[in-house]
């Protein structure tokens, strides 16, 4: 059975799931637990690739990275293409920006996670029963620190937000210019660019469920006030193109 390993709150995992669902590719989803799941992740990752999720494991091999998984979904699945030839330069440009912005988001989230036992409890694996979640919360904090060191988290995520995220969102606003799509129709450029809006205001639980503490951790009040149009754009994309 085709299996996608991911992290439920990660926008990279969401990009891969969106593409797989768009192309109606069947798969089962398995949650990856940072640190605890590292050995299994390394074992499943193809030689020469960096072990990270999302990771798609199929009978004939494994694909790592949201972009490669989305392309694989397009090759395997059905429905309107997300990677039309003419849109490739736009898609690749926004993919690079999105990857950098999401890395800053991860740095910011893992830093906040390390100091919040509420977020730590929410991100523990589901099999840990309610009364024990407080006891196990520090293991989630260790997982967050592990991610920070493995992915070399920005030492000053707030500065990176100002210097990189803000201009990226302004650029997105300018390029959209009030239109529903970055290209003539819905493409992966919209999927990858809209993932950045998760740092502004996480999308509703209906699409990507988050615990209340994790939701607050992603959200940036100043960005929410500055970019309501991008939140509206992202929500309209989800309403039209994302199956719950
Ligand atoms: N460029 C990659 C980035 C993937 C990535 O950074 N994944 C992180 C998400 S936090 C991860 O795997 N973290 C868990 C771990 O490394 O154990 C993509 O598009 O999928």
Q: Where are the domains of the chain?
A: 3-76, 85-241
For residue 131, the CA-to-ligand 1 centroid distance in Å is 30
Q: Does domain 85-241 have CATH number 3.80.10?
A: no
Four-way CATH pick for 3-76: 3.30.70.260, 2.60.40.1180, 3.40.30.10, 3.40.50.720: 3.40.30.10
For residue 218, the CA-to-ligand 1 centroid distance in Å is 16
Residues 36/143, Cβ–Cβ less than 8 Å: yes
99 lines ligand 1 (CB under 6 A): yes
Q: Tell me which of 31, 42, 53 to substitute to probe ligand 1's pocket, judged by most ligand atoms within 8 Å of the beta carbon.
A: 53
Residue whose entry in the numeric block shows the structure tokens 């085709």 = 2
Supply the mean pLDDT for the chain: 95
Does this model's pTM top 0.85? My answer is yes
Mark residue 104 as left, alpha or beta (left: phi above 0; alpha: psi -120 to 50; beta: remaining): alpha
* Interacting residues of 47 by C-beta distance below 8 A, sequence separation 6+: none
Average pLDDT over residues 57-80: 96
pLDDT value of residue 135: 87
Phi, psi at residue 34, to the nearest 5°?
-55, 150
Whether the pLDDT of residue 244 is over 70: the answer is no
């Amino acid at each position: 059975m085709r299996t996608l390993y991911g992290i439920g709150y990660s926008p990279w995992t969401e990009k891969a799931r969106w593409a797989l669902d768009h192309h109606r590719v069947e798969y089962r989803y398995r949650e990856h637990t940072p640190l605890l799941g590292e050995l299994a992740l390394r074992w499943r990752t193809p030689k020469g690739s960096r072990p990270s999720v999302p990771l798609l494991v199929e009978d004939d091999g494994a694909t790592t990275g949201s972009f490669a998984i989305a392309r694989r979904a397009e090759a395997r699945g059905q429905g309107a293409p997300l990677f039309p030839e003419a849109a490739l330069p736009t898609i690749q440009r926004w993919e690079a920006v999105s990857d950098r912005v999401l890395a800053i988001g991860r740095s910011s989230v893992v830093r906040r996670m390390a100091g919040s036992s509420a977020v730590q409890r929410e991100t523990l694996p589901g099999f840990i029963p309610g009364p024990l979640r407080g006891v196990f919360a520090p293991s989630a904090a260790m997982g967050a620190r592990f991610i920070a060191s493995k992915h070399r988290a920005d030492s000053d995520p707030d500065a990176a937000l100002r210097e990189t995220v803000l201009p990226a969102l302004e650029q997105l606003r300018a390029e959209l210019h009030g239109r529903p799509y970055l290209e003539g129709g819905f493409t992966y450029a919209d999927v990858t660019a809209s993932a950045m809006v998760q740092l502004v205001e996480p999308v509703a639980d209906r699409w990507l469920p988050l615990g209340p503490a994790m939701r607050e951790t992603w959200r940036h009040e100043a960005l929410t006030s500055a970019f309501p149009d991008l939140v509206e754009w992202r929500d309209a994309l989800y309403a039209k193109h994302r199956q719950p």
